[in-house]
Amino acid sequence: MAPKRKAPAVSGRASKRVASGVSTPVSLDSDDDYSGSEGNESTGPNSAAPAEYDNVIKSYQPSSTYVPKKGKQPRDAADQLFRADRDFSDQQLKPDHHLRPLWLDPVHGKVVLETFSPSFKQAQNFLINIAEPLSRTNNMHEYTITAHSLFAAVSVGLTEQDIVRQMELFSKTKLPDSIIQYVHKVTQSFGKVRLVLKHSRYFIESNDASVLQMLIRDPVISTCRLEESNELQTEKAAKMGPLVIPGTKEAHGNKEAQARKEQQQQQQRQREKDDEDSDDEFGGQAAEQDMTEFLREEEDDDDLDEVHSFEIDGGKIQKVQQQCNVYLELPLTEEYDFRADVENATLDIDLKPATQIRYYQEHALSKMFGNGRARSGIIVLPCGAGKTLVGITAACTEKKSVIVLCTSATSAGQWRAEFIKWSNVNPDDVIIFTSSEKGRVPLRACIIVCTYSMVTQNTRRAYDSQQTMDQITKREWGLMVLDEVHVVPADMFRRVTERIKTHSKLGLTATLLREDDKIKDLNFLIGPKLYEANWLQLSEEGHIARVQCAEVWCPMTIEFHSEYIQAKTTNKRSLLSIMNPRKFQACQFLIDFHERRGDKIIVFSDNVYALKQYAEGLKKPYIFGDTGQRERDLVLQNFQYNDAVSTIFLSKIGDTSLDLPEATCLIQISSHYGSRRQEAQRLGRILRAKRRNDEGFNAFFYSLVSKDTMEMYYSSKRQAFLVDQGYAFKVITHLNGIDSMPNLRFETQDEKMTLLTDVLLQSETAGDEEKIVDDLFSDRSTFRKAGGGGRKGGGSGVKRQAGTLSSLAGGEDMAYLEYQRGSRSNKELAKPKNAFFSKEARERERRKKAQRDMLL
DNA sequence: GAGTTCGGAA
DNA sequence: TTGAATCCGAACTC
């Protein structure tokens, strides 16, 4: 028997959630015993909590029957990390705790996983199912158990017993009652109620009539009902046999694939065996069982029951979902029994025989189709790991009409191409619906690929697109694939789930995060997160590239820094820190270094002015929003095929809309505040590097940061996601060899000063272009006034004139002249047509010429 | 094809 | 923790 040891206090993010919670049983002055956290019991100070707190309380973490040690008075700043509610030192450790990898926080539902533990792998597989990963660093992974994460666990087929049994197995301490009770409470209520689409009508369905009776009485839900009576409809539930997902081992009869598969399986078994061996040390029974087997076994257990239901208004689904999910903690699961569906036509589609999906894709799909039906939910895979193929395989499994939504017209085209590439679908059945390509929607089963905006457009719809839209909203879809699903919660995009009637929804994304809190809406708009891949694991296995991340600290020059200190606006400050000459030099050095290694380099800058300065200063081609399509293609083609062009500069246009499989090195010179998603997305640009399988290949990711500026703060914030994924950022404070580099820009004081004055001038006028442009008309102040406001202003008459100079260069005279001449509308006349006066036209010409010179 | 409008991002 | 300012793409119009 091991002596009683102290369990460490845990602190961190999850605890924040509880900070304001009424339920936290912390009290420094009360000796009352706490019988629970519900807050409406009459013991303890919480009894005073007003009734409206009820929901808040409910949504909190494990209802705690755990009573921590009585608090002590805080003594110093660090003391809050060891507050009474986080001090679990009185928890009894199991004798063989060193073999078990989990630390459980009985109050906040936080879990710390030791990666060096012998049973780390099984514990991780298990935790992925029941908890949200917060952070995965070298030695510790941090998870949190929430209502949603448990909901996801239940929805992929785990039972309360499975969860408790495994937790007990992995935990270093005896499983606290608070957690057992929480799991019980949550699993009892979750997965009980389903949302079902039948004959274009929506029903709330359950095997348990009493739950539905309760819902009918709910004031919000009752208003969403279609029938008046309290009678429920009742019918027998159907039962189905097992299902085979295409592209998996069961699906492949073919010998060769079989052999290959078997070899892989054998390796897999060997790996598992290794893991098991370590298991046996403490007799882990359940851990041996792979999660997918769990899923298969847990199938069809509700076949005996009758199914009860009531109908709700199709337009109020979101309201019902929100009510159930957020307030009643009774999330609606959406499952589509597509094999029993005879109403909707079957789509003739299958994966091409040679197509094999990777193990994690299969894993993800087995979560979706685990019980023979299609569950709605979200699958998280890093860029380049084959999200598209997951979507296509899902479509091939259901074999019903599919609608694919993507963010841009380009990616719509790519989806269509991928469908044709991987499956045997008739190309005529894959229809693109964007503003530039409006296919006709046939009545038969088909695949529609369209942009979100095409579906969500509210006003001014072209006639033919309205026609197509009607076709889409009128019919029932089997599967809706939402690409880049993290964009969906934005209020606009909510409409897609409202407008399109679909039986199942599959969300795909690489980065399930936003800086706002709308991300949690996904839980009821689409469904729970079904699967999330571990980036590091995939890169170790060679599915995506290995990446070295580094943050390069560039000291500010004295002049720049003193200007930075004095700068009044953040705009000026950020420009100064971006244009820091030392940073420019670092950039130049890194480009040179990697070009010589044979890398293809992308340099990102959010700031367009800086982008131009850097690119032109280094004589490299660049692309930003205003760059025309033809020019873009020219630059990209050269980047891809021309060895002389190894570096291109991109504005944030490159974040999403360009496909750049050649890139192997990425340098970031400025970025948008603390956006973790942008950082992750940019990293994603090099994950699909074609050369990733070369021996010892590494991709590189640099962030250039000016020291002693806000950039330092933002940079650390941005990295949070990647660090949580397990990436390590090296800090480089000095680039070896930069001092001896020939032709370094901004070496002389003169050059630096010129740059500084340029930057200062720019920062004063940035975003206000008309001020600097027009040297023909010198009295700026007058015509700016005359211009009638800026971008947002201008109630009547000519709108948005001041957006560019052109609107008012030479002021009203030009416009007036044209007005007189033609009979065009006001709007059109506001801008002078004469290219000579247009700064932008001149600028465009100049740029085109410069780029051509560079490329040819 | 160029320009306008709108909405999103964070 | 919030907001302004900026950039960008899609859809539509002519």
Distance, angstroms, CA A635 to C1' C14?
30
Are A312 and A166 in the same domain? no
Are A760 and A664 in the same domain? yes
CA dihedral A777, A780, A782, A787 (to 10 degrees): 90
Are A569 and A703 in the same domain? yes
A694 within a domain of the structure (yes/no): yes
Distance, angstroms, CA A594 to C1' C13?
47
A59 within a domain of the structure (yes/no): no
- Is the Cβ atom of A766 within 7 Å of strand C at any atom? yes
- Is the Cβ atom of A454 within 7 Å of strand C at any atom? yes
Half-sphere exposure in the Cβ direction for A629 (13 Å, CA): 1
DSSP secondary structure letter of residue A325: I
- The whole-number average pLDDT for the span A324-341 is 84
A612 within a domain of the structure (yes/no): yes
Contact positions of strand B to protein Cβ (< 7 A)? 2-10
- Is the Cβ atom of A530 within 7 Å of strand C at any atom? no
The whole-number pLDDT of residue A722 equals 84
> Where is A234: in which H helix or E strand?
strand A233-236
* Least-confidence region, from A37-46, A213-222, A244-253: A37-46
- The whole-number average pLDDT for the span A590-603 is 93
In chain A, how many domains are there?
4
pLDDT at A723 over 80: yes
- Strands A110-114 and A233-236, bridge-based pairing: unpaired
The whole-number pLDDT of residue A1 equals 42
CATH number at residue A633: 3.40.50.300
Under 8 Å between Cβ of A629 and A538:
no
Protein residues with beta carbon less than 7 Å from any atom of strand B: A 458-459, 487, 490-493, 514-516, 628, 672-675, 677-678, 799-800, 827-828, 830-831, 838, 841
Q: How many whole angstroms separate alpha carbon A559 and alpha carbon A761?
A: 15
- Is the Cβ atom of A435 within 7 Å of strand C at any atom? yes
Are A113 and A228 in the same domain? no
- The whole-number average pLDDT for the span A5-18 is 39
The whole-number pLDDT of residue A286 equals 41
Q: Tell me which range, A415-424, A530-539, A620-629, is most confidently predicted by mean pLDDT.
A: A415-424
pLDDT at A441 over 70: yes
Distance, angstroms, CA A17 to C1' C4?
29
- Is the Cβ atom of A670 within 7 Å of strand C at any atom? no
State the pLDDT confidence band at A304, using cuts at 50, 70 and 90.
low
Are A444 and A479 in the same domain? yes
Q: How many whole angstroms separate alpha carbon A807 and alpha carbon A831?
A: 4
Q: How many whole angstroms separate alpha carbon A520 and alpha carbon A514?
A: 10
A57 within a domain of the structure (yes/no): no
The whole-number pLDDT of residue A32 equals 35
- Is the Cβ atom of A461 within 7 Å of strand C at any atom? yes
Q: Which residue has the higher pLDDT, A822 or A10?
A: A10
Are A352 and A480 in the same domain? yes
The whole-number pLDDT of residue A738 equals 92
Half-sphere exposure in the Cβ direction for A108 (13 Å, CA): 28
- The whole-number average pLDDT for the span A421-450 is 90
The whole-number pLDDT of residue A133 equals 80
* Least-confidence region, from A1-5, A436-440, A623-627: A1-5
Distance, angstroms, CA A232 to C1' B10?
46
Boundary (domain end) residue, out of A189, A211, A230:
A189
Residue for token digits 């006639």?
A463
Q: How many whole angstroms separate alpha carbon A522 and alpha carbon A790?
A: 37
User: What string of DSSP letters covers A240-277?
Assistant: ------TTSTTT---HHHHHHHHHHHHHHHHHHHHHHH
- The predicted model scores a pTM of 0.75
Contact positions of strand C to protein Cβ (< 7 A)? 3, 5-13
* Least-confidence region, from A689-698, A700-709, A736-745: A689-698
pLDDT at A562 over 70: yes
The whole-number pLDDT of residue A848 equals 67
- Is the Cβ atom of A651 within 7 Å of strand C at any atom? yes
A40 within a domain of the structure (yes/no): no
CA neighbor of A684 nearest in space, from A361, A382, A358: A382
- The whole-number average pLDDT for the span A369-397 is 90
pLDDT at A435 over 90: no
The whole-number pLDDT of residue A37 equals 34
Distance, angstroms, CA A796 to C1' B3?
19
- The whole-number average pLDDT for the span A819-841 is 35
Name the closest residue (CA) to the C1' of nucleotide C13: A462
Distance, angstroms, CA A493 to C1' B3?
26
Are A144 and A223 in the same domain? no
- The whole-number average pLDDT for the span A432-456 is 88
Residue A604, amino acid: F
- The whole-number average pLDDT for the span A436-447 is 88
Query: pLDDT tens across A14-63, in order?
Result: 333 333 333 333 333 333 333 333 333 333 333 333 333 333 333 334 44
Distance, angstroms, CA A517 to C1' C10?
26
pLDDT at A580 over 80: yes
Name the closest residue (CA) to the C1' of nucleotide C2: A516
A234 within a domain of the structure (yes/no): yes
- How far CA A80 is from CA of A9, A66, A77, A143, A444, in Å, comes to 11, 19, 6, 21, 64
pLDDT at A675 over 70: yes
* Nucleotide nearest the Cα atom of A412 (by C1'): C10
Q: Is A171 helix (H, G, I), strand (E, B) or coil?
A: strand
Under 8 Å between Cβ of A351 and A392:
yes
- Is the Cβ atom of A465 within 7 Å of strand C at any atom? yes
pLDDT at A833 over 50: no
Are A532 and A601 in the same domain? no
State the pLDDT confidence band at A417, using cuts at 50, 70 and 90.
very high
pLDDT at A215 over 60: yes
A 575-614 residues, CB < 7 A, strand C: 606-609
Distance, angstroms, CA A808 to C1' B3?
16
- Is the Cβ atom of A115 within 7 Å of strand C at any atom? no
* Least-confidence region, from A157-171, A579-593, A704-718, A834-848: A834-848
Distance, angstroms, CA A411 to C1' C9?
13
**Domain range for residue A503?**
348-536
Name the closest residue (CA) to the C1' of nucleotide C11: A435
A 672-731 residues, CB < 7 A, strand C: 673
pLDDT at A399 over 90: yes
Q: Is the dihedral of CA A484, A490, A492, A496 positive or negative?
A: positive
A421 within a domain of the structure (yes/no): yes
Half-sphere exposure in the Cβ direction for A223 (13 Å, CA): 6
Are A646 and A745 in the same domain? yes
Q: Which residue has the higher pLDDT, A586 or A808?
A: A586
- The whole-number average pLDDT for the span A296-307 is 53
Name the closest residue (CA) to the C1' of nucleotide C10: A453
pLDDT at A656 over 90: no
Q: Average model confidence (pLDDT) for chain A?
A: 74
Residue for token digits 């004139």?
A801
| Farthest-apart Cα atoms in chain A, separation | 99
- Is the Cβ atom of A451 within 7 Å of strand C at any atom? yes
Q: Which residue has the higher pLDDT, A737 or A236?
A: A737
Distance, angstroms, CA A234 to C1' B10?
48
* Least-confidence region, from A207-216, A389-398, A658-667: A658-667
* Nucleotide nearest the Cα atom of A678 (by C1'): B10
A486 within a domain of the structure (yes/no): yes
- Strands A430-433 and A447-451, bridge-based pairing: parallel
Distance, angstroms, CA A828 to C1' B3?
9
Structure tokens at A831: 């801008």
Are A360 and A313 in the same domain? no
Percent of chain A at pLDDT > 70 equals: 71
Distance, angstroms, CA A408 to C1' C2?
30
* Nucleotide nearest the Cα atom of A674 (by C1'): B10
The whole-number pLDDT of residue A704 equals 92
Under 8 Å between Cβ of A765 and A569:
no
Are A479 and A412 in the same domain? yes
* Least-confidence region, from A280-284, A617-621, A622-626: A280-284
DSSP secondary structure letter of residue A768: -
Name the closest residue (CA) to the C1' of nucleotide C8: A625
Are A169 and A224 in the same domain? no
- The whole-number average pLDDT for the span A778-787 is 29
Boundary (domain end) residue, out of A536, A557, A591:
A536
Boundary (domain end) residue, out of A174, A189, A204:
A189
Name the closest residue (CA) to the C1' of nucleotide C14: A828
* Least-confidence region, from A200-204, A324-328, A808-812: A808-812
Q: How many whole angstroms separate alpha carbon A190 and alpha carbon A668?
A: 44
* Nucleotide nearest the Cα atom of A490 (by C1'): B8
Q: Is A194 helix (H, G, I), strand (E, B) or coil?
A: strand
- At residue A86, what are phi and psi to the nearest 5 degrees? -120, 10
Distance, angstroms, CA A800 to C1' B4?
10
- Is the Cβ atom of A671 within 7 Å of strand C at any atom? no
